[in-house]
Amino acid sequence: MILTCLAVFALGRPGLVIKGGLVYDGLGGAPKRLDIRIEGSVIKAIGHVKVRRGDRVIDAKGLAVSPGFIDAHSHADGGIFEDPNAETQIRQGITTAVVGEDGFSAIPITDFLNKLKGRPASINFATFAGHGAIRKAVIGNENRKATPDELKRMSEIVDREMKSGALGLSTGLEYEPGRYGDTSELIALSKVAAKSHGIYISHVRNEDNQAFEAFRELIEIARQAKLPAEINHIKLCSTRVWGRATEVLKMMADAKKEGVDITADVYPYLYWQSTIRVIIETEQFDDRKQWEQGLSDVGGPSHVLLTSYSPNPKWVGKTIAEISTETRVDPITLIQRIIDSCYGKGKQGSESVVVTAMSDEDLKTFIGSPRIMFCSDGGLNGTHPRGAGSFPRILGVYVRQNHTIPLQEAIRKMTSYPAWRFGFKDRGVIAEGKKADLVIFDPAKVVDTATTKAPLSPPRGLPTVIVNGIPVLLHGTATGAHPGVGIRRSG
């Protein structure tokens, strides 16, 4: 029955009517009890909508209706062609994922976008051009300054990617090979993106003790390249910089006064996920003093949870402190052995960790800031709960339980704000003529359930999601529909 109706919707015949919901338009204003009529992929009418013969009706009485959530930093492109239903995404209300983050993207991006056209998914995708991917294509993983000829070749690739619809240039400056690019290289490439009205978005060079220096570098890149910039998954993840979130917001505000447009995104967890190598600031992995300081800054080895480790999967789900006790190997030596087993000469192992290293007060400050939108930094089937729970967690924990932010403002920061930042002119708000990306949820019940032990546990209280006019989640059941599109930068 569902599939038959979906086919009818796709042909643009009888409409889909959402009746009696409390509609949040995405712009931050008070909600109104309204009906919404959808025809094809577009919102056709809002108000008191008469149901016509053949219309499909969704009763939203007692529920909130909002624009679909836009994930400002996503890794849902990884594996999307193998898992196009993307249930971890649709179940948290995400209708558009912004990918190509951390400096890693498909090169050329047109191959990714064309493949999406032929093999669509349940959600929409838009992508950045990744500096790391471009640098690797031209220079490899060499730790050195680009030559003038290499910089010219990288610039030509950025220009090509921007003309293909990239949102801008992304960097991952804690990762190889992006970390080997100096500020002058990033400014030069950002100037190319600026010519096509793109933005610069960055996993900055440091997120702990040198975080402020890293934020200043991003602001300087934006200033000299004359383009907007965004700090990805903004955080202060060292005890030595805890409590300074308001200083970061002041830096952003001061830059704005100078005409430098800086925004940020944040995910609602006190722990990050990456490789264990980034706990220290260099690649001198045999330096025990650096490991002593790095572990101290994150609160000790009990705060480092091994979430994947191919050489010994039995260690997965345990902290470095627990493994140290079990093996009778001190934490630093253990970490060094983990790194060597994955990255030593001739080794091809893999590892990842979840590290609890942020202050709740700093996180609340970032969540409450009007200049900071939301993201998951998650993938389809990841081992960090953010990939399955970020947006419901905002609504359940930081809106309803902690009162950190009002509901209508949280929705604005999930919808119209990222749509504005990334140039999505046809979605992000509920208005006639806009694309029908919509989420229906219960504000009194919506909440995440994912944990580090059960990272894929689905949220509660979010029963229906519509993408381009087609239900992809209906009354809690994934429909198997794949109406998502690739979104290219406009303007």
Least confident of 2-6, 287-291, 332-336: 2-6
3-class state of residue 282 by DSSP: coil
92 close to 455: Cβ distance less than 8 angstroms: no
Q: What is the pLDDT of residue 9?
A: 43
For the stretch 368-417, pLDDT in tens is: 999 999 999 999 999 999 999 999 999 999 999 999 999 999 999 999 99
Taking alpha carbons only, the member of 221, 111, 94 closest to residue 168 is 221
Average pLDDT, the chain: 95
Domain 69-269+358-425: which CATH class? alpha beta
The percentage of residues in the chain with a pLDDT greater than 70, rounded to a whole number, is 97
CB 358 within 8 A of CB 270: yes
Q: pLDDT exceeding 90 applies to what percent of the chain?
A: 95
**In 3-state terms, what secondary structure has residue 12?**
coil
Q: So what's the pLDDT on residue 14?
A: 77
Is it the case that residue 10 has pLDDT exceeding 80? Answer: no
Q: What is the pLDDT of residues 184-210, one digit of tens each?
A: 999 999 999 999 999 999 999 999 999
pLDDT tens digit sequence for 350-361 = 999 999 999 999
DSSP 459: P
Interacting residues of 26 by C-beta distance below 8 A, sequence separation 6+: 66, 67, 411, 412, 415, 416, 419, 428, 429, 430
pLDDT for the residue 11? 42
Tokens of 240: 């030595």
- The answer, yes or no, to whether residue 239 has pLDDT greater than 80, is yes
> Quick count: other Cβ atoms within 10 Å of Cβ 394?
28
Rounded CA gap, 16 and 19, in Å? 10
Beta strands in 204-303 (DSSP E): 229-231, 262-266, 271-274
Cα 274 from Cα 175, distance rounded (Å): 10
CA–CA distance, 468 with 310 (Å, rounded to integer): 40
pLDDT digits (tens, 9 = 90+) for 41-91: 999 999 999 999 999 999 999 999 999 999 999 999 999 999 999 999 999
Give mean pLDDT, residues 164-168. Answer: 98
pLDDT higher than threshold 80 for residue 12? no
pLDDT computed for residue 247 by the predictor = 98
* pTM attached to this predicted model: 0.92
3-state secondary structure of 441: strand
The sign of the torsion formed by the CA atoms of 145, 147, 152, 156 equals negative
Handedness of CA 253, 255, 260, 262 (dihedral sign): negative
Alpha carbon distance 488, 207 (integer Å): 30
What is the model's pLDDT at position 3? 40
Tell me: pLDDT of 13 over 70: no
Give the residue range(s) of CATH 3.20.20.140 domains in the chain. Answer: 69-269+358-425
